[in-house]
Amino acid sequence: MKLNLTASYSPDIDAENYARAFFDNYIISHGRGDMAEYLKKLIKNENILTILNNSKDGNSAKASLTNLFTNNDENKSLQDIALKFESEWLNLGDQIIFTLENLFKISCPFEAVHIDLTTLRLCPYDYRKKRIFVYANTDIQSQMRIILHELNHFFFYSLYHNLPLKKHNHEMYELLKESLTLFSNPEQTGKPNEKQLREYFIKNNIDSIEKAVDLGSIYLDSTTT
């Protein structure tokens, strides 16, 4: 099934990504250590860091960052990147969806997704709203690999939302979800705490998503009990 994908850049939404990541403490670490310190290392722009460090909360940080990004000389180029993203999706989108449909053995379970470009090298998503952040300041091939990775998560959530592992160990459920990107994005090493599960898949010649979910769930249960 075709997936209708749109992309845009909004200073307000970009600012919200920074503010939420910095103040809301909602991102699972996945072995990356203290996320506040991890984020500071990701952000190279001193003006952005100053605003985040000096803001009393997420709302004030978002307001200040929105003003900064709105008056940024790069604003027009970021709008152009959004148009390029949509154009490249027209070329590669069917191939990406075909890959995921074959991996998960289901038709694409949603009709539309929106991409919010961000200048933060952290790309969260909202599965319910079908929105995904994609890092703007990288090449288009890397962006397509990012969207393949994130849509892998969306397929997983759609097909395995009732997985027993989710009910009794949500963090391990999320770890399993992340590790399944081995099958769509083998060139990626994954987050630090994925290493053990990815090696388990490879060592045991697990060659399908279905087997990986079944055996991965058992493996994660055995390592956490």
pLDDT band at 68 (very low <50, low <70, confident <90, very high): very high
pTM above threshold 0.85:
yes
Same domain as 152, residue 47: yes
**In terms of domains, do 66 and 137 share one?**
yes
Q: Are residues 85 and 168 in the same domain?
A: no
Give 29-57 pLDDT, tens digit per residue. Answer: 555 566 667 787 888 899 999 999 999 99
Asked which of 114, 134, 157 is the last residue of a domain, the reply is: 157
Indicate if the pLDDT at residue 187 is higher than 70. yes
Nearest to 53 by CA among 22, 26, 28: 22
pLDDT at 26 over 70: no
Same domain assignment for residues 166 and 151: no
pLDDT of the residue at 35: 65
Angle between helices 170-179 and 140-159 (to 10 degrees): 130
Number of helices (H), then strands (E), belonging to the chain: the values are 11, 4
Q: Assess whether pLDDT exceeds 90 at residue 185.
A: yes
pLDDT-based confidence at 14, cuts 50/70/90?
Answer: very high
How large is the average pLDDT for residues 172-192? 92
Region at 48 (left for phi over 0; alpha for psi -120 to 50; beta for the rest): alpha
40 shares its domain with 149? yes
DSSP 60-128: HHHHHHHHHHHT-TTHHHHHHHHHHHHHHHHHHHHHHHHHHHHHHTS--S-SEEEEEEESSS---EETT
Domain coverage including residue 106: 4-157
Picking from 135, 157, 179, the residue at the C-terminal end of a domain is 157
Tokens of 38: 């991890």
Domain check: are 147 and 167 in the same one? Answer: no
Tell me how many domains the chain contains: 2
